[in-house]
Amino acid sequence: MKTHTLTIVGVGLIGGSVALGAKKRGLADRVVGIDNQRESIDRALALGAIDVGFQCEAPAESFGEIIVVCTPVDQIVAQVALAAHHSRAGAVLTDSGSVKGTIVREVERLTPKIAFVGSHPLAGSEKQGVEHASPDLFQDRLTIVTRSPQTDAGALERISSFWQALGSRVQSMSPEAHDRAVARTSHVPHLLASALSAYLEPELQPLAATGFKDVTRIASGDPALWSAILMHNRPAIRDGLRELESCIQRFRRALDEGNGDALTDVLALGKRRRDDLGS
């Protein structure tokens, strides 16, 4: 299934990688990039990720059969609404935001007639910008696509095929199940990595070795982007934090009681589950 025009709104790391991946695999005749930063468009053009680019106002013919909104999460709903306004009959829209519940609910409320499917490719990096984009960013990664009561089955099918064509595995779940899951796999870990990084006084930094650097690596992510992500998933993050704290409580109790065997048991569970993940 080849698309005539593929439209990417927000040409950063993710949007640029979708564009490059589609180019490399011949998934579209033409890739149009829309971004509110002239610099990102120029870079994407220079990299050959997009064929044509627009800043802000894009003409109606820029909006193709597949439109992927890859902006920061707090701009996705507005950009989807704008694209929906211009899009042709039969177009399907998706996004790449790392929260889904608030976005899918808002999009369905504001533009109930368009074929929108929420997506979250579990790929990325603490680096930002189209200059770090890669056509193979999604290769062998997992992309979650969301299925709500309003989701059009044909659109879900087309968006799933699109991510698969970019090399990704695809799994569908409800927006709420997605948000609960990523609170645990991504948002709570991000918050902890950031807290650990913040609490280490500068004079102790020379003592931080590889382990500390690994634990805190994701804290280098863009604060404004992450603030928006976390703000969109507050209830699930609160639940996740509460569960994590009851885990930490088991450690604290073992330490307080001087119970080395109990401590070994919790550490062994952590090791078992970490070993299951692979390197």
Site residues for a copy of itself, 217-246, by CB under 8 A, read 217-224, 226-228, 230-231, 234, 237-238, 241, 243-244
Q: Which of 50, 115, 166, 191 binds a copy of itself (CB under 8 A)?
A: 191
Looking at the DSSP assignment, which residues form a beta bridge with residue 279?
A: none
Tell me the C-alpha distance between 190 and 276, whole Å.
Answer: 21
Q: Which of 88, 161, 247, 253 binds a copy of itself (CB under 8 A)?
A: 247
Does 140 bind a copy of itself (CB under 8 A)? Our answer is no
6 or 191: CB nearest a copy of itself? 191
SS3 sequence of 198-235: HHCCHHHHHHCCHHHHHHHHHHHCCHHHHHHHHHCCHH
46 or 268: CB nearest a copy of itself? 268
Instruction: Indicate the helix (H) or strand (E) that contains 33.
Output: strand 28-35
Does 213 bind a copy of itself (CB under 8 A)? Our answer is yes
Size of the site for a copy of itself (CB under 8 A): 86
- Binding to a copy of itself (CB under 8 A): which residues in 141-160? 141-142, 144
Does 79 bind a copy of itself (CB under 8 A)? Our answer is no
Does 202 bind a copy of itself (CB under 8 A)? Our answer is yes
Tell me the C-alpha distance between 23 and 51, whole Å.
Answer: 10
66 or 218: CB nearest a copy of itself? 218
Using the contact rule CB under 8 A, the part of the chain among 58-66, 101-109, 130-138, 140-148 near a copy of itself is 140-148
Tell me the C-alpha distance between 1 and 3, whole Å.
Answer: 7
Site string for a copy of itself, 95-134 (x = CB under 8 A): ---------------------------xxxx---------
Residue closest to 255 by CA, chosen among 267, 243, 244: 267
Does 267 bind a copy of itself (CB under 8 A)? Our answer is yes
What is the distance between the terminal CA atoms of the chain, rounded to a whole angstrom?
A: 35
Question: What sign for the dihedral angle of Cα 218, 221, 224, 228?
Answer: negative
Task: For residue 1, give the amino acid letter.
Answer: M
